[in-house]
Structure 1
Amino acid sequence: MNTVFIDAGRLSSELALERIRPAPDGIGGYTEKREEVATLWGRVEPVSDTARYFGAQPLEEITHRIILRFRNDVESGMRLRKGERHFTIITVHDPDESRRYCLCRVREEGR
């Protein structure tokens, strides 16, 4: 397998990795709270933007690719936060299976 070259010096965005932690709501159910797992350095690259319509309301979606150093605990469904911006992780993979980097496809929330 060919090694993918990623310039580690370009991982210049500080990101907080967050996971969902269920918390009991007192009436038998639970609420979802975000818990920060780690602070990471990564590179955020915009990929696409689309707008679909649900009735008369536009549903906008902005996707990005975020490159991180490899971690075993990064999973889809987790979230990366950069300041006030939130990115939900859709997929995670190791681009050259060398366990050096994680390539995450993410969807930006709240935009």
Structure 2
Amino acid sequence: MNIGELRNRIEIQNYIRTPNEVGEEVKQWQTYIKLWAKFETSLVKEQVQAGKNSESVVHEIVIRYRNDLDSTMRVVYKGNNYNINHVVNDQEQNIETHLFCTLIEEGVYNE
């Protein structure tokens, strides 16, 4: 891994549930960690859903190795939110982690 390629600042968020002032459970995203990363658009996936063709762009985000991230989290980069679809330990070498993500479209509810 060339550390100089990690020039994009990303934020990893996790989803937490906390009680509000009247004791009701409130769900919200919270910053888990901020990291330097290499952010790339890697491929376009075409699929058919409900009889309609759709495309989704998969972004590959490379960071230093971490074993505490999973697909329940999301990435925030330049004001956009991305679902983490897959977390991959590159070649199981514990050197770098690849996050394969898709953009969360504005106006689409996502838990």
Cα deviation for residue 9 of structure 1 reads: 0.9
1:10 maps to 2:10: no
Aligned-pair identity (%): 19
Distance 1:31 1:60, change over 3 A: farther
What's the CA shift string for 1:47-87, capped at 9, x where partnerless? 2334756578x755221111011112111121111121111
Unaligned stretches of 5+ residues in structure 1 = 1-5
What's the CA shift string for 1:1-48, capped at 9, x where partnerless? xxxxx22210110001100112347686x4431010111010111023
Instruction: State the match for 1:85 in structure 2.
Output: 80
Separation in structure 2 between the aligned mates of residue 44 and residue 10 of structure 1, nearest angstrom: 9
1:22 maps to 2:32: no
- 5 Å-filtered alignment, 1:20-99, equals 20-24=15-19, 30-49=25-44, 50=46, 54=50, 60-99=55-94
Instruction: State the match for 1:107 in structure 2.
Output: 102
Distance 1:35 1:47, change over 3 A: same
Runs of 4 or more above 3 Å deviation: 23-28, 49-56
- Cα-Cα RMSD: 2.5
Unaligned stretches of 5+ residues in structure 2 = 107-111
TM-score (norm 1): 0.77
Separation in structure 2 between the aligned mates of residue 41 and residue 104 of structure 1, nearest angstrom: 13
TM-score (norm 2): 0.77
